[in-house]
A and B are shown apart, each in its own frame.
Chain A
Amino acid sequence: MTVGKDVSALFPDVVNCMQTDNLELKKLVYLYLMNYAKSQPDMAIMAVNTFVKDCEDPNPLIRALAVRTMGCIRVDKITEYLCEPLRKCLKDEDPYVRKTAAVCVAKLHDINAQLVEDQGFLDTLKDLISDSNPMVVANAVAALSEIAESHPSSNLLDLNPQSINKLLTALNECTEWGQIFILDCLANYTPKDDREAQSICERVTPRLSHANSAVVLSAVKVLMKFMEMLSKDLDYYGTLLKKLAPPLVTLLSAEPELQYVALRNINLIVQKRPEVLKHEMKVFFVKYNDPIYVKLEKLDIMIRLASQANIAQVLAELKEYATEVDVDFVRKAVRAIGRCAIKVEQSAERCVSTLLDLIQTKVNYVVQEAIVVIKDIFRKYPNKYESVIATLCENLDSLDEPEARAAMIWIVGEYAERIDNADELLESFLEGFHDESTQVQLQLLTAIVKLFLKKPTETQELVQQVLSLATQDSDNPDLRDRGYIYWRLLSTDPVAAKEVVLAEKPLISEETDLIEPTLLDELICYIGTLASVYHKPPSAFVEGGRGVVHKSLPPRTASSESTESPETAPAGAPPGEQLDAVPTQGDLLGDLLNLDLGPPVSGPPLAASAVQMGAVDLLGGGLDSLMGDEPEGIGAPSFVAPPAAAVPANLGAPMGSGLSDLFDLTSGVGTLSGSYVAPKARLRSGFGHTEASLSRAAPAVGHPEAGTPGRPGRVLLLIPRLTWSSPGGPGRCGPSESPLQVWLPAMKAKGLEISGTFTRQAGTISMDLQLTNKALQVMTDFAIQFNRNSFGLAPAAPLQVHAPLSPTQTVEISLPLSTAGSVMKTEPLNSLQVAVKNNIDVFYFSTLYPLHILFVEDGKMDRQMFLATWKDIPNENEAQFQIRDCPLNAEAVSSRLQSSNIFTVARRNVEGQDMLYQSLKLTNGIWVLAELRIQPGNPSFTLSLKCRAPEVSQHVYQAYETILKN
């Protein structure tokens, strides 16, 4: 039997031996039965009598053995006979029998769920949770958890503070394996407030020092989840953070298999809470005898932990790794250096020089990898490190990998004006044009067009050559279409072509390779499971309905920031500097469409999570990530169809309206006639492929800009440049409505002091400025300009300072603003970067505007609409805030808010509380729905905000505070 021989023929003989008193023999017989009963169901009935008898044997070992074996015989007829013995065994006096019986209920449920329910075994099982023996409790919890998973709606594992308390008590007593069941069960519980969360955390923390890594990780999971509910200011929060690090570090001294699994989990934890391990960089240094999969994971975590403080150490390590022998590892190390440069700006210079050193080694694969990486660095820091181009060009001949060639060609094209022999270089590539991979061909095409636009006189021939190669001699539709587009652009309007092809590119940023936040939050709930190893939600790899209940982190109840993003840009980013575009993030689709194109939000519900990745990009810089994610859905020829129907299936309905709007717009564009609509649509699909290939080829560092495709797309579709940065923490936002803030101190602006505030009156937004001349010379020629901002604020009139401003003089100006400017998401959402010019110099400052200047007068929604919209917006988008110390009553609140264009749609009185339902609309058409709960006598109000673009909620809340407290 054990060596794979079929001995089922002996069934009757074996069953005869069943009644033996020899336990050893009995066990062997039972082992045989388990293996063969299924193939001989009729004969298995012969054994039933003995089973039933054995279940009443005085020896508990035999009772348990019988009930365990019966459960394993998956023959329907036997299960009927199993019920009575099982019922007895569940109440057995011996804990060993009870714990076996508890598992047996789960077995029976798997075979015949109805039977288990009818026989009332589930209730008995629930009673076992209060059993005196911890082993029995653990098995009962495990069995119930499993049964509950197949009935997600049932309330089998009714977790309440009392039962949680019981579990926590059993936790201290049972075996390590039981502890795992119990901790996993605890992780599914959502405490009612932060106090309860803290007390559970306190009782779970001792598990962190357990020797069994599974116990440790299950405890980490519970802590990571409940920590979400704790306020960051709490002392306990800090203590907990400190306690998390040592057990994680200890895991790294285990065997490589455990290390690998631990590293995959640490990777998630570090992305969620980098502060946990920020001082432990050294433990992630690669050991030479680590298996390659451990090395690569360590490398990834090193980058995630890299910061200004430890960058020198990290770079030194990476440089060492880049000289090792393992080719794969060396490549990854070189990439990692590039990621460091992009992540830690201060280190960029050092990274570039390290890369140059590596290029000097002339080792082929190192050089190629370094060039790919340097291209990304150029995209992050344009016009900073061109001095290295000469060195790169020296290695032109040694490049044989498509990715490196494409990168090099991109560099040549991008900096064509500084490379004297750029035309020769590109020409040399052109000779073997048809042998190149698509990636290289596309890059070459774009680079030559760029070159032509920069040096039109010498390169006319070259550009014609490449255009004809691409359009006439190529079978590749991507290439051909891109060729045609360039051709038409160049022949129709070279100026426009220049604007398109040589437009400023969005910067790339480190965050592109982070796991997308909603997925990350979900994965955090699955720490210590297979999902955390695959970095995929369980629904992606577990079959059917089992265990696929979507989990999410508990919302933070306190009034502070909704989600914190450690990577948020510094609040007062240096003015004038470009904000980074992070193309992958943001479930901003809703307001994106609104901001830009103005259709009302009342459209179909936004399947935000499904379209997240692509949608933003589609309108923003490159089409890359959209296509990178779902290439197959987009390249479909159906896309060429009339605009309204040109909706790729995976984008869902909301994109549809947006896209059709886009296409409608294009048809009215002056430079291009409407007949171009169809080719353009195809162009888009064509680019889809190219981008897909490019962005997949370089997953390590962001999305390569990939030449021009994004730009023609953008201009053709007449979308102002829209780029979004991380929707991270909208939390940092200063007081805003205070009368006249100093925005630009005199010492920073050669004597010009600017203070001001924002107001909204009768539908007009204005910026009230006070300019004071503290210098010794007269100031004249004032002008003002805004950087692109989230709501498209722009001066509606020039800055009028009528007379020259003499020293010590002050002038007050009210500058009307419009919201028709170009839009780019800023961080924080409401920051505004302003440039003021006078005869002395140009000065930059940045300020935050209160959101309520953007609340429009027609922001009252009708009741039905309100109800429908409220239901429509997914609950994840709801944010709750507390407004403290506000002495007003409901009437006063309502009227005061109304004067700031927050309209009360309905008012209800529920159990003595006043509930105000309010709506408001932003200038870009985003609706925000609010529910304000006021308890008489309690100066704290509860404000729930629902909006399709949840990142505005924080700012709306601040507007509420400002309005109510002034």
Chain B
Amino acid sequence: MISQFFILSSKGDPLIYKDFRGDSGGRDVAELFYRKLTGLPGDESPVVMHHDDRHFIHIRHSGLYLVATTSENISPFSLLELLSRLATLLGDYCGSLGEATISRNVALVYELLDEVLDYGYVQTTSTEVLRNFIQTEAVVSKPFSLFDLSSVGLFGAETQQSKVAPSSAASRPVLSSRSDQSQKNEVFLDVVERLSVLIASNGSLLKVDVQGEIRLKSFLPSGSEMRIGLTEEFCVGKSELRGYGPGIRVDEVSFHSSVYLDEFESHRILRLQPPQGELTVMRYQLSDDLPSPLPFRLFPSVQWDRGSGRLQVYLKLRCDLPPKSQALNVRLHLPLPRGVVSLSQELSSPEQKAELGEGALRWDLPRVQGGSQLSGLFQMDVPGLPGPPGQGPSASAPLGLGPASLSFELPRHTCSGLQVRFLRLAFRPCGNANPHKWVRHLSHSDAYVIRI
């Protein structure tokens, strides 16, 4: 069972320390942990560390270390899950999780810990259940104001939707502001997908997978019913087919326990009564068989002159998104052979940027329109690199070059094609305006790797 729990700041100062079992050691343990963590050799895993009979398991969240210790042979999964739940929970109660909020809300955090863990046994981590027991109010640094919403156009000028929630809107405590009813009626629904792709050097696709989830953050009173309509062509598993179109297919779906699936089979509607706070309504994954073309293709060509040590890399990046969509914050990261000394570049448009750093080439493209094609020509000098024998330019890449990886965000785009058709609330507050509903779709890259 869990012996101790503590939260350390990024510098290793203990913010919260709680002992459940009357173990000796006290706060020195926190220091011991930090020393151990920072002194760990590179290839050793920091996930589970031990010192004598004490085992440390930790996660890092928003710059804080959340650490649990135990002296028994218990499940590391439950500790890891617990720590990440605690992070969510603290976020729910204190607003966002961070050094400042934690030190402002020490009493609240201890109260929470007392209810979540008794003698090292996890009791509950549900925001909803805990609400019955928690007395302390969160201290929030600055009150949330709707004026923050003025930062419309988060996703670029093209945004026509009048209501786009700023990403900061969701970072206030779910459970504070009991008095202020008008601000409570908000629901945030995000469809977020992570895309992992592996493309071989000959351009063939080795692996694709998409991990998606529908996340909900609700400020509505608990138990208010809502219905989420998904794309009707949505099907699960390899065999199922719906409608006449190609359909939107995923391999596996799992739902949160508060979701009722009675309308899911027939109409693809999720009915749920969410508790206040954040939850993941649905999680799904899809591999190998993507309905739409990949967002990016990269066509590299490499000239490598061993004699003069000159390396020339020409990269052509084609964005295969529909013309109306765009990708933001595109960054290409290309590891280079050791000892690259200089870089000269020719880029196809002015807002791009390329630079060398940490043994790699970084090519930043702030925005890439769907259907467009961008290119960059990079020349580098690599003196003294071992390579295949023979003089003169050759097309084979020297060692240490590649693989290229891309990171990007695709706002209002899901790679699986899944969309939220509607979000309907059964809840009608008396005498108040309609609740605000915010729906976002977002895909971003997890590991998008192109071998060269």
Q: Closest chain A residue to B133 by CB distance?
A: A61
Determine the distance from Cα of A2 to Cα of B446 in the docked complex, in whole angstroms.
39
Interface contact A246-B59, CB-CB below 8 Å: no
Q: Which residue of A214, A285, A542 contacts B77 across the interface (Cβ within 8 Å)?
A: A214
Cβ proximity bits B46-88 to A, threshold 8 Å, 1 near / 0 not: 1110100101000100000000001111111110111010000
Interface contact B14-A211, CB-CB below 8 Å: no
Whole-angstrom distance between the Cβ of A832 and the nearest chain B Cβ: 46
Interface contact B283-A214, CB-CB below 8 Å: no
Q: Which residues of A contact B198 (CB under 8 A)?
A: 285, 287
Determine the distance from Cα of A633 to Cα of B122 in the docked complex, in whole angstroms.
44
With A23-B135, A103-B121, A211-B280 known to touch, is A28 a contact of B107 (CB < 8 Å)? yes
In chain B, positions 132-169 with a C-beta closer than 8 Å to chain A are 133, 135-136
Determine the distance from Cα of A48 to Cα of B103 in the docked complex, in whole angstroms.
31
In chain A, positions 226-268 with a C-beta closer than 8 Å to chain B are 246, 250, 253, 255-258, 260-262
Stretch at the interface among B218-226, B340-348, B399-407: B399-407
Q: Which residues of A contact B200 (CB under 8 A)?
A: 316
Q: Which residue of B27, B125, B280 contacts A177 across the interface (Cβ within 8 Å)?
A: B125
Q: Tell me if B119 is interfacial: C-beta within 8 Å of chain A.
A: yes
How many interface contacts (CB-CB < 8 Å) are there between A and B? Answer: 185
Chain A interface size, under 10 / 10 to 19 / 20 to 34 / 35 or more: 35 or more
Whole-angstrom distance between the Cβ of A926 and the nearest chain B Cβ: 37
Whole-angstrom distance between the Cβ of B71 and the nearest chain A Cβ: 6
Q: Tell me if B300 is interfacial: C-beta within 8 Å of chain A.
A: no
Q: Tell me if B25 is interfacial: C-beta within 8 Å of chain A.
A: no
Q: Tell me if A361 is interfacial: C-beta within 8 Å of chain B.
A: yes
Q: Which residues of B contact A175 (CB under 8 A)?
A: 124, 126
Q: Tell me if B451 is interfacial: C-beta within 8 Å of chain A.
A: yes
Interface contact B106-A325, CB-CB below 8 Å: no
With A23-B135, A289-B447, A325-B335 known to touch, is A543 a contact of B73 (CB < 8 Å)? no
Max chain A C-beta neighbours (<10 A), residue from B1, B55, B74, B287: B74
In chain A, positions 285-310 with a C-beta closer than 8 Å to chain B are 285, 287-293, 296
Determine the distance from Cα of A100 to Cα of B283 in the docked complex, in whole angstroms.
34
Interface contact B285-A250, CB-CB below 8 Å: yes
Q: Which residue of B53, B82, B118, B403 contacts A543 across the interface (Cβ within 8 Å)?
A: B53
Interface contact A217-B53, CB-CB below 8 Å: no
Determine the distance from Cα of A290 to Cα of B198 in the docked complex, in whole angstroms.
14
Whole-angstrom distance between the Cβ of A76 and the nearest chain B Cβ: 12
Q: Which residues of A contact B263 (CB under 8 A)?
A: none
Stretch at the interface among B37-45, B309-317, B362-370, B428-436: B37-45
Q: Which residue of A2, A135, A209, A547 contacts B110 across the interface (Cβ within 8 Å)?
A: A2
Q: Tell me if B388 is interfacial: C-beta within 8 Å of chain A.
A: yes
Determine the distance from Cα of A139 to Cα of B55 in the docked complex, in whole angstroms.
23
Interface contact B207-A285, CB-CB below 8 Å: yes
Whole-angstrom distance between the Cβ of A355 and the nearest chain B Cβ: 15
Interface contact B43-A296, CB-CB below 8 Å: yes
User: Main SS of the interface on chain A?
Assistant: helix
With A2-B106, A288-B449 known to touch, is A180 a contact of B75 (CB < 8 Å)? yes
Whole-angstrom distance between the Cβ of A8 and the nearest chain B Cβ: 14
Determine the distance from Cα of A146 to Cα of B111 in the docked complex, in whole angstroms.
25
Determine the distance from Cα of A153 to Cα of B102 in the docked complex, in whole angstroms.
46
Determine the distance from Cα of A216 to Cα of B75 in the docked complex, in whole angstroms.
11
Q: Which residue of A23, A181, A258, A546 contacts B80 across the interface (Cβ within 8 Å)?
A: A258
Interface contact B254-A106, CB-CB below 8 Å: no
Q: Which residue of A103, A290, A316 contacts B119 across the interface (Cβ within 8 Å)?
A: A103
Determine the distance from Cα of A529 to Cα of B79 in the docked complex, in whole angstroms.
10
Q: Which residues of B contact A262 (CB under 8 A)?
A: 77
In chain A, positions 80-98 with a C-beta closer than 8 Å to chain B are none
Cβ proximity bits B280-305 to A, threshold 8 Å, 1 near / 0 not: 10010101000000000000000000
Q: Tell me if A859 is interfacial: C-beta within 8 Å of chain B.
A: no
Interface contact B118-A253, CB-CB below 8 Å: no
Q: Which residue of A38, A72, A246, A543 contacts B252 across the interface (Cβ within 8 Å)?
A: A246
Q: Tell me if B386 is interfacial: C-beta within 8 Å of chain A.
A: yes
With A285-B198, A530-B48, A531-B73 known to touch, is A31 a contact of B125 (CB < 8 Å)? no
Q: Which residues of A contact B98 (CB under 8 A)?
A: none
Q: Which residues of B contact A495 (CB under 8 A)?
A: none
Q: Which residues of B contact A38 (CB under 8 A)?
A: 22
Determine the distance from Cα of A287 to Cα of B119 in the docked complex, in whole angstroms.
39
Interface contact B75-A217, CB-CB below 8 Å: yes
In chain A, positions 301-343 with a C-beta closer than 8 Å to chain B are 316, 320, 323-325, 328
B residues whose Cβ falls under 8 Å from a Cβ of A: 1, 14, 16, 21-22, 27, 42-48, 50, 53, 55, 59, 70-78, 80-82, 84, 106-107, 110-111, 114, 118-119, 121-126, 133, 135-136, 196, 198, 200, 206-207, 209, 211, 252, 254, 256, 280, 283, 285, 287, 335, 359, 386-388, 399-400, 402-403, 405, 446-447, 449, 451
What are 17 A-B contacts with C-beta separation under 8 Å?
A31-B110, A72-B119, A146-B1, A209-B254, A214-B81, A250-B285, A253-B285, A255-B59, A255-B80, A261-B76, A285-B198, A323-B399, A323-B402, A325-B400, A328-B43, A530-B76, A546-B72
**A320-B451, A362-B387, A542-B73 provided; 14 other pairs, C-beta below 8 A?**
A2-B106, A24-B135, A106-B119, A135-B124, A177-B122, A216-B77, A261-B77, A288-B403, A288-B447, A289-B447, A363-B399, A528-B75, A528-B77, A529-B76
The 5 closest A-B pairs by CB, nearest first: A214-B78, A293-B45, A214-B77, A177-B122, A24-B135
